[in-house]
Amino acid sequence: MIEVKDITKSFGEQSVLKGISATFKEGKCNLVIGKSGSGKTVLLKTMVGLIEPNTGDVLYDGRSFTKMNFKERKMIRREIGMLFQGGALFDSLTVEENIRFPLDMFTTMTSEEKLQQVNSCLSRVNMVNTNKKFPGELSGGMKKRVGIARAIVLNPKYLFCDEPNSGLDPKTSLVIDALIKEITIEYQMTTVINTHDMNSVMGIGDHVVFLHEGLKYWEGNRDEIMKITDGELFDFIFASDFLKDLRRNAKVS
């Protein structure tokens, strides 16, 4: 479980997060949704310490991340996996070396054990036999899958995904969503996903936090979200007038 407590963050004059509190539960896909520029990425990066918040705290199963020193943070980061928007695979390393990197750096496993672990992660994301390929030779969806494999190779307790579906076709998006959902349940991870894809919300949104202009505007699950009838969240979900009309008509009938 991850608790975010009253996080604020501004860049210069611009206040991006204006006091956000939320709880992300384990074994669940927790979605953070909101318009582009609403602060989703900043919130995610603040939670993992890539951005320092101005005030507020992040608790990992009760452990205060903001109060930790450099060393303690490094330790907790071994329990964190993160999938970046573009995959963020290391260009100069092959797929296998990418996934093996955390094992090389932080474990004392033998080469065979490492290879076994790499291959099991690769098969988990349906990417067997791509070991020797370089990131430049992969499609966007394949990069994301390798990114997921790398993120879970150390069996993390917490998984963060920044827009896992951006740049993917609807079908591949579903595959990636399903994959994230499966491994979340399988490893009982606390998974936090940034997205503005309503398909993901309906597909895997166990718990949904809606950010609007730096504030938590709404929080609930995917069933509750469909009961919304107006306000910013309604505008967000039914982005087009066409959809809004469809929705209103459905309510009338």
Partner 1 sequence: MTFLEEIGGYLIMIRHAFSKPEKAAMYSKETFRQMADIGVGSLPIIAIISTFIGAVTAVQFSYQLKSIGLVPMWWMGSIVRKGLILELAPTITALLLAGKVGSNIATELGSMRISEQIDAYEIMGVNTRSYLVGPKILAAMVVVPMLIVIAVFLGIIGGWAGGVLGNFFTTAEYIRGLQDDMKNWDVIVMFIKCLAFAFIIASVPCYKGYTVSGGALEIGKASTQAVVYSSIVLIIVNFFIAFFLLDSGG
Ligand X SMILES: Nc1ncnc2c1ncn2[C@@H]1O[C@H](COP(=O)(O)OP(=O)(O)OP(=O)(O)O)[C@@H](O)[C@H]1O
In the complex, the smallest distance separating the C-beta of residue 84 from ligand X, rounded to whole angstroms, is 12
Cα-based angle 178, 179, 184 (whole degrees, multiple of 5): 100
- Report which of 206, 208, 190 is spatially closest to residue 76, judged by C-alpha positions: 190
- Which string of x and - marks every residue 128-157 that binds partner 1 (by CB under 8 A)? ----------------------x-------
# chain residues binding partner 1, by CB under 8 A = 25
In the complex, the smallest distance separating the C-beta of residue 141 from partner 1, rounded to whole angstroms, is 17
C-alpha to C-alpha distance for 164 and 166, rounded to whole angstroms: 6
Which positions touch ligand X (CB under 6 A)? Answer: 11, 16, 34, 36-42, 196
The residue range among 6-14, 87-95, 118-126, 220-228 that interacts with partner 1, by the rule CB under 8 A, is 87-95
Do the beta carbons of residue 161 and residue 193 sit within 8 Å? Answer: yes
The reply to whether 84 sits near partner 1 by the rule CB under 8 A is yes
Residue nearest to Mg ion (CB): 41
In the complex, the smallest distance separating the C-beta of residue 48 from partner 1, rounded to whole angstroms, is 6
85 vs 119 by CB, closer to ligand X: 85
The residue range among 2-10, 34-42, 176-184, 214-222 that interacts with Mg ion, by the rule CB under 5 A, is 34-42
The interface partner of residue 116, options being partner 1, ligand X, Mg ion, none and the CB cut-off 5 to 8 Å by kind, is: none
The residue range among 56-64, 102-110, 121-129, 195-203 that interacts with partner 1, by the rule CB under 8 A, is 102-110
Do the beta carbons of residue 147 and residue 69 sit within 8 Å? Answer: no
Handedness of CA 208, 62, 184, 193 (dihedral sign): positive
Burial 181-218 (b: 16+ CB within 10 A, else e): bebbeebebbbbbbbbbbebbebbbbbbbbbbebbbbb
CA 253 to chain centre: 38
C-alpha to C-alpha distance for 26 and 113, rounded to whole angstroms: 28
C-alpha to C-alpha distance for 197 and 179, rounded to whole angstroms: 16
41 vs 191 by CB, closer to Mg ion: 41
The reply to whether 94 sits near partner 1 by the rule CB under 8 A is no
Give the one residue of 6, 11, 67, 90 binding partner 1; rule: CB under 8 A: 90
In the complex, the smallest distance separating the C-beta of residue 11 from ligand X, rounded to whole angstroms, is 3
Give the one residue of 34, 53, 102, 214 binding partner 1; rule: CB under 8 A: 102
Give the one residue of 30, 41, 46, 117 binding Mg ion; rule: CB under 5 A: 41
Going by C-beta distance under 8 Å and a sequence separation of 6 or more, which residues neighbour residue 65? 47, 49, 57, 58, 59, 73, 76
Task: Round the CA-based radius of gyration of the chain to a whole number and report it.
Answer: 19
92 vs 249 by CB, closer to partner 1: 92
C-alpha to C-alpha distance for 94 and 170, rounded to whole angstroms: 27
Instruction: Give contact residues for Mg ion (rule: CB under 5 A).
Output: 41
